[in-house]
Amino acid sequence: MIEDIDVSINGHVKIWDPYTGEVFVQQHNAVNQEVLSSLIANLLVSSDRRFIAEMHFGNGGIIVDETGNITYKDVEINLETGFAAGLFSPTYFKVVDTVDSEYNDDVTKNNAEVSHTQGLTYSDVIVTCTLDADQPNSSDVGNLIDLSQNATDTGSLSGSFVFNELGLKSKGLTGLNTGYLLSHIVFHPVEKAANRTIQIVYTLRIRIS
């Protein structure tokens, strides 16, 4: 009888234009071990609805010095803070919870699903988030610029913005943007132009051995 099992969770992020096929980012990401362990335990007993609910965008993932050299901030150190972890500089988020008909603007483009092949010891949670041509917008519920930053420094959201960090958040028990950061990734800046669509496919592979 097997008494001990090992559970591993690996993340991968793809940021691309689904119409042209151009890929901007494709790399692995870090996960918040403390928060995810709590999330899995809560799901096993169905004690509440702490599932993946939002994808968050930020622009504080890098440091550019006076010569133009880029330093990527350490997400591992950030995630070691567990339930206190957050993006370095959050600017915007979208709801990917398909049950939330009030704030998910299109469940066919913003959703989370499980992919599993019978006989394999891993399953994938695939979170898809789509920024359409007119997104983000300053009137969107996910606009955080005016709440967390100086709007004169970052500019208003009008279908275009630049981001260099992403994270998934769990369902908040007291409303939007009140959940916990489940994962975090930083990368070279991606510019979302107002005339194009960008889609993020965020995969978490859960393996038991």
Specify the pLDDT at position 196: 92
- The 10 Å Cβ neighbour count of residue 190 is 16
Q: pLDDT-derived band of residue 31, with 50, 70 and 90 as boundaries?
A: confident
Residue 109 lies in a domain: yes
Residue where the block lists tokens 């504080």: 60
79: in domain: yes
The better pLDDT of the pair 48, 43 is held by 43
pTM score above 0.85:
yes
For residue 2, tell me if it sits in a domain: no
* Structural domain includes residue 112: yes
| Residue, of 2 and 201, whose pLDDT is higher | 201
In the prediction, which pLDDT does 105 show? 95
* Total structural domains within the chain: 1
Residue 1 resides in a domain: no
Q: Is residue 46 part of a domain?
A: yes
Q: How confident is the model at residue 89 (pLDDT cuts 50, 70, 90)?
A: very high
Domain containing residue 78: 7-208
The per-residue pLDDT for range 113-163, each reduced to its tens digit, is 989 899 988 888 999 999 999 899 888 899 987 654 444 444 567 777 899
For residue 1, pLDDT over 70 is answered with: no
Interval 71-81: pLDDT, tens = 999 999 999 99
